């Protein structure tokens, strides 16, 4: 069996990769869309996902 710490690290890395993929899709949508609603939603989700990716970096630097 794998230690619990290793399992958490794998799931954390996988979550970051998925969020990074969503970030890339949002950048593509913002670059190619002409719809104001789609652009607004992509911009909002871009900010939220960027924040989710940066939170672990900020909390680790404070420890």
| pLDDT for residue 57 | 75
From the number of C-beta atoms within 10 Å of its C-beta (0-12, 13-18, 19+), residue 41 rates as middle
| pLDDT for residue 59 | 79
**pTM, entire model:** 0.66
| pLDDT for residue 11 | 78
Split into its structural domains, the chain has a count of 1
**Is the predicted pLDDT of residue 6 greater than 70, yes or no?**
no
Host domain of residue 32: 4-62
Name the band, by pLDDT with cuts 50, 70 and 90, for residue 2: low
**Distance (Å, whole) CA 42 – CA 35:** 11
**Is the predicted pLDDT of residue 63 greater than 70, yes or no?**
no
């Amino acid at each position: 069996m794998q230690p619990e710490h290793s399992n958490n690290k794998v799931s954390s890395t996988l979550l970051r990769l998925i969020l990074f993929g969503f970030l890339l899709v949002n950048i593509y949508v913002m670059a190619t869309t002409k719809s104001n609603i789609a652009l607004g939603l992509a911009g909002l989700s871009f900010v939220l996902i960027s924040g989710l990716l940066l939170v672990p970096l900020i909390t680790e630097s404070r420890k």
